[in-house]
Structure formats: structure tokens, C-alpha cells
Amino acid sequence: MLPPRSPPPSDRDATPPGLTASLELVARAQAGDADAKERLFARYYPRVFRVVRARMGVGLRALEAPEDIVQNTFLAALSALERFAAREDAALIDWFARLTENQLRDAAKYHGALKRGARTAPPEPRAPEPVSSEPSPLERLTHAEQTRLFDECISELPADEREALILRDHADASWALIAERLARPSEGAARELHRRAQVRLMELFRKRTSAP
């Protein structure tokens, strides 16, 4: 079972007919309301952060902080916000998720170019890990650490399973949208892909937390 998602923060504004609070913030931000932009990005920061962390591979995670990718994502969102149009919140987080794809791709290209142009030095030897009689790794993990570990495990899944989990569990995408994005013939096929991804994720998580 995936870690519970945090409930969205309450909005102090009344929701106009036909609009959710988030889309109202989008409309205000597009009209130049700086406070609306700050509130919108603050509301979606935790979810965008988890999308970024779940999509970062092991190699990129060692070179780039997720926070930097998230910051670049929101900078890109600022410049593209005027062109955004949607009728439901799910489309908004899906838009943010698409922006993260571009930022992660750019970061991977940047570090790849650095690696090709730099001389590699031999790694320094690492001291052996001391043997401990402390509680098991899973028992020592805080909720935040478990969430981080889940996201890292998601990043190790096959691409289609990873995206199924991100779209459904982080972006609240409908089964129809998941089927369309991942080229599945039906909503039922999208559900089955998501189910397989959950099973594989739990297997990875158990392996990571049961390691000595």
C-alpha cells in the first residue's frame, strides 16, 4: 500500500460555481495576481516534489537535488502559465508533471555533457559499515523517510509501471487519461498496469527495507 497522500491545504476563498479553488487561483495568477501565483505553487509543491523524486533515476539523484528540479519546474510554469487552460484540477497536476519531464531531461543532458567533458578520478575508498544491533531498517525509518524510499523505488520500476503510479497516485489522473498517455487499449488495461506496478513496488520496498 502506498503512503497516504497529504490532504490539500484548505483555501480561504469561496469556490465559484463551476471552478475548483485551484483553477480559480490559476485564473487569478493569469490575470497578474502575484499572491495567487505564490499560493498556487505552495499548494502543489509537495505533489510536484514527489513526482520529481519518483522520476529521478539513481544516477541523476546523485548529481542533482530534487528541490532544484522542482524550482526549475515552477520557473518554467511561470513562463507558460498564460497558455495553460483546463477545466479540472487533475489537468493542472498533469501539466506540472509534464513540465517535470522536461526539466529532468534537461538535467540529464547537462550532467551527461559534463561527464563526457571531464576527466574521471578514481573513487576514494569507503570505510566498511559498522555492524549494528539496532532495530531493523524499516523500524528506524520515519514516515518522511519511508515516503522518500517509496519514491526512490518507484523510480526503479519499468517506465510504463512508473508512469502509471505517478499519474494515478501523484497526479490523480483518470484511468482514461492513463490509458491514453501510456497507449493502453482500455481503462481496464490501465488499471491492471497500475496493479502490477503496485505489486512490483511493494517487492522493491520490502527488499530495500529488509537489507541489513
Domains of the chain: 17-117 (1.10.1740.10), 141-212 (1.10.10)
Answer for the pair 89, 189: CB distance below 8 angstroms, yes or no: no
pLDDT bin (cut points 50, 70, 90) of residue 184 is very high
Decide which of 210 and 191 is more confident. 191
> Can you give the pTM of this predicted structure?
0.60
Question: Using CA atoms, how far apart are residues 72 and 115, in angstroms rounded to an integer?
Answer: 21
Q: Encode pLDDT of 36-62 as tens digits.
A: 999 999 999 998 998 888 888 778 877
Distance (Å, whole) CA 199 – CA 139: 21
Query: Residue 212 pLDDT > 60, yes or no?
Result: no
Give yes or no for residue 161 having a pLDDT over 70: yes
8 Å CB contact between 134 and 140: yes
- CA pair distance 145, 135, nearest whole angstrom: 15
